[in-house]
Amino acid sequence: MPNSPVKLTYECVEQLHTWVRANCPCALENEEFIPGLICIVEMEVETALKRQQSQQFQNLQTPSLQ
């Protein structure tokens, strides 16, 4: 599988934007700020992995032209 650049979905970017706006200007003073960002990105990664696995499974079920 070729390496492609990682792209965040619109939903993930919106969640990150909302989180930053809710925690700024004192974001770095809030001990929950960084773990919250990490949680949002981890959820995005899990969603992307599930999507990729689903696509790979669908590709296995599609007959190939030989």
Distant-in-sequence, close-in-space partners of 15: CB < 8 Å, separation ≥ 6:
40
- Tokens found for residue 8: 């965040």
Residue whose C-alpha is closest to residue 8's, from 35, 55, 42, 53 = 42
Evaluate whether 44 touches 9 at the Cβ level (below 8 Å): yes
Rg of the chain over Cα atoms, rounded to whole angstroms, equals: 17
pTM here is 0.57
> What digits encode the pLDDT tens for the residues 5-61?
667 788 888 888 888 888 777 776 788 887 888 888 888 888 888 888 888 777 777
